[in-house]
Each structure stands twice: as structure tokens, then as C-alpha cells.
Amino acid sequence: MKVRADHTLVIERRREDVFAYLTDVESLPEWQSSVLEARKHTEPRRHRHDVHRGPQVPRSAARVRARGH
């Protein structure tokens, strides 16, 4: 049996603002009910092509704690 559900939501904000909010890791618990905590970690990392003397480039990672995990 196939089930299909459609839902439309109008958000009175600019697309850029909505995208920024949805892609901000630390806002996940506000709109993703299964997420209990989310934190962004950024640390410098050397460019992989020039490990010994290359420029520092940021690397982002996240720690997410969710229900049932």
C-alpha cells in the first residue's frame, strides 16, 4: 500500500534567512523534534595538498545528540 502526504507551509521570511536558520546546526533542536542537543565545532586544518606549509583553512563538524541514540 502506498501512502502519500503533502503539506505546504508559508514562511514570511526571505529565502536566505530560512536557509541560514535551517542549516545552522545549533538551531536543530528548535525544529527537529528528535534532536536534543546540537553543537558546531570549527577547528583549523591545513589544506590536504600542502600539509607541511599550506594555509590554514577552517573545518566544521557537529556533535548532535538525538532521542534513541
68, three cell numbers: 534513541
| Residue 26 pLDDT greater than 70, yes or no | yes
Spatial separation of the C-alpha atoms in residues 32 and 47, rounded to whole Å:
33
Domain extent, residue 51, equals 15-66
Instruction: Decide: 32 and 56 in contact? Cβ < 8 Å.
Output: no
Amino acid at 3: V
Number of domains in the chain: 1
Q: How many CA atoms lie within 13 A of 26 on its CB side?
A: 5
> Does residue 8 lie in a domain region?
no
Place of cell 565545532: 41
Nearest one of 28, 24, 8 to 16, comparing CA atoms: 24
The overall pTM is greater than 0.85: no
Read off the pLDDT of residues 28-52 as tens digits, 9 standing for 90 and up.
Answer: 999 999 999 998 877 655 555 545 5
Q: Which pLDDT band holds residue 57 (cuts at 50, 70, 90)?
A: low
